[in-house]
Amino acid sequence: MNMDYRHRLREHFGIKTNDQQYVVALAGNPNVGKSTVFNALTGLRQHTGNWPGKTVDNAQGSYTYENKSFLMIDLPGTYSLLSHSAEEEIARDFICFGKPDATIVVLDATSLERNLNLAFQIMEITDKVVVCVNLIDEAQKKKIEIDFERLEAKLGVPVIPTAARNGVGLKNLQKAVYELVIGSQITKPKQIKYSPQIEEAIDTLLPQIEPLNIAQMINPRWLALRLLDNDSSFIESINRYINLQNAVK
């Protein structure tokens, strides 16, 4: 995608970057430690306000790693991206249209199963994902054992254990994001397989979606799923953010 176009898309969200700065989105369920990760990494280099047109908090902050500059965006906590609330819409729209160079999905180590739901949705939108399993100190207290290597192999993206409040694992998290954005780490996110009827419907839609300009902008499978869901909020966002004539450069 043309760099100017990417900048213009990001400006919709009040985000200004130069070509040298990577944008990292922080997503996750409410109360899993996103802001703790954000504060630990960005310290005082923060800027807070509201999301354009919404009364939802927006925090952006920067950090440097291996001489590269990263702009981190602390997204509102959400259980899903299926747009039942302003928060879900913001998180979904930013991941879809803000074109982050990487998205960190923060999960609660003490309730992985519930938290993975959001991770799978995000992995339908983008393959630039790093999973951060936070609160591992709490999991240890509860004698929950997690096989991180196996989880990583199953998910197809890097999985980094952290205890953000104590600063544990944050360097590894920065390293994983760095390797993803410079392209030395290739991810292959696991895709959820739906019922045969849904998979069939996706297969019918894909050949019609794939030739369109929009398929360069939005993951076609995710778009097919949203169309099947008759997700009018998402269609509205497409119209808001994408000038279809300029969608491919």
Ligand X SMILES: Nc1nc2c(ncn2[C@@H]2O[C@H](COP(=O)(O)OP(=O)(O)OP(=O)(O)O)[C@@H](O)[C@H]2O)c(=O)[nH]1
Structure tokens at 215: 């398929």
CB of 35 to ligand X, least distance (A): 3
Q: Considering only CA atoms, which of 44, 51, 55 is closest in space to residue 73?
A: 51
Tell me if 28 contacts ligand X by CB under 6 A. yes
Tell me if 6 contacts ligand X by CB under 6 A. no
Could you tell me which residues come within 8 angstroms of residue 48 by beta carbon, excluding any fewer than 6 positions away? 57, 58, 59, 60
Tell me if 85 contacts Mg ion by CB under 5 A. no
| Spatial distance between the Cα atoms of 130 and 190, rounded to a whole number of angstroms | 13
From the list Mg ion, ligand X, none, which binds 61 (C-beta under 5 to 8 Å, kind-based)?
A: none
38 or 222, CB closer to ligand X?
38
| Spatial distance between the Cα atoms of 178 and 234, rounded to a whole number of angstroms | 30
Binding string, residues 40-79; x marks residues near Mg ion by CB under 5 A: ----------------------------------------
Candidates 61, 77, 98, 100; binder of ligand X (CB under 6 A) is 77
Task: Tell me the three state secondary structure of residue 187.
Answer: coil
Tell me if 165 contacts ligand X by CB under 6 A. yes
Candidates 6, 7, 14, 35; binder of Mg ion (CB under 5 A) is 35
Candidates 68, 82, 127, 137; binder of ligand X (CB under 6 A) is 137
Tell me if 71 contacts ligand X by CB under 6 A. no
CB of 83 to Mg ion, least distance (A): 20
Structure tokens at 42: 């960005």
From the list Mg ion, ligand X, none, which binds 125 (C-beta under 5 to 8 Å, kind-based)?
A: none
35 or 233, CB closer to Mg ion?
35
Tell me if 104 contacts ligand X by CB under 6 A. no
| Spatial distance between the Cα atoms of 222 and 216, rounded to a whole number of angstroms | 12
Give the number of other Cβ atoms within 10 Å of residue 55's Cβ: 7
Tell me if 219 contacts ligand X by CB under 6 A. no
Tell me if 135 contacts ligand X by CB under 6 A. yes
| Spatial distance between the Cα atoms of 241 and 249, rounded to a whole number of angstroms | 16
Q: Considering only CA atoms, which of 154, 139, 140 is closest in space to residue 131?
A: 154
From the list Mg ion, ligand X, none, which binds 50 (C-beta under 5 to 8 Å, kind-based)?
A: none
| Spatial distance between the Cα atoms of 213 and 159, rounded to a whole number of angstroms | 33
CB of 74 to Mg ion, least distance (A): 6
Task: Tell me the three state secondary structure of residue 20.
Answer: coil
Tell me if 170 contacts ligand X by CB under 6 A. no
- Is residue 9 within 8 A of residue 98, CB to CB? The reply is yes
Residues of this chain that bind Mg ion (CB under 5 A): 34-35
